[in-house]
Amino acid sequence: MQTPILYIPTIQKNLNLTLPKEQIAKLPKTLFLAYSIQYKELAQQIKQQLKANKINVTKSQQVLGCTKINTKLPILLISTGIFHAQNLFSQTPILYVLENNKILKIPEKQIAKLKAKKKTALIKFLKADKIGILVSTKPGQENLQQAIKLKQKLKKQNKRGFVFISNNIDTSQFENFNIDSWVNTACPGLAMNNVDIININDLPKS
């Protein structure tokens, strides 16, 4: 079953907090409400508007860039920019945005483009002999143990893994290292538009 997502980029200055009824009417009668933490209050306001218009919000949840939404319902995401949305719509073929108080569907080719980048990054990883494993020291992003486990797994596959630890990961420095592919264990946004980087959660499980 396809999981459509409605994405509201709340950074827009002209976004009306009272959603037009004709736009709310475009939504399914039952949905899942997701939001980034800074928009929790706004999410609650919109939740009440939806309920007033007979939209059943089954659950509301704060999401991060790597959050996996465990639902088959349509999702309404309230956040800023494309960061959280990219994580969610990479899990679904359908996405809607609200621009100037109008709900618009994101072209499927845009979603396909993101998935193609992920596929390219995965292919580079599978073919790579020397793999850099990125670890951030920032609170909430540090996954050193996960990186060590991956390095050990790579060794069993006769691949060489190198752990790179930094507070601020600068992708412009990658060219200074003889690395075939990079695995990111920190903020997923690092791999958003870089085919040389694959997020650790996007690696094959076996």
CATH fold of the domain at 5-106: Rossmann fold (3.40.50)
- The pLDDT tens digits along the chain (206 residues) read 556 666 565 555 555 577 888 888 888 898 888 887 877 888 888 899 999 999 999 988 888 766 767 777 888 888 765 666 666 766 666 666 666 667 667 677 777 888 888 899 999 999 999 999 999 998 878 999 999 999 999 999 999 999 999 998 999 999 999 999 999 998 877 887 789 999 998 898 76
Domain boundaries, the chain: 5-106, 116-202
Q: Which CATH class is domain 116-202?
A: alpha beta
pLDDT tens digits along 44-63 = 888 999 999 999 999 888 88
CA distance 64 to 195: 22
The alpha-carbon radius of gyration of the chain (Å, integer) is: 19
Q: Would 5-106 and 116-202 be classified into the same CATH topology?
A: yes
Q: Are 25 and 6 in contact (CB under 8 A)?
A: no
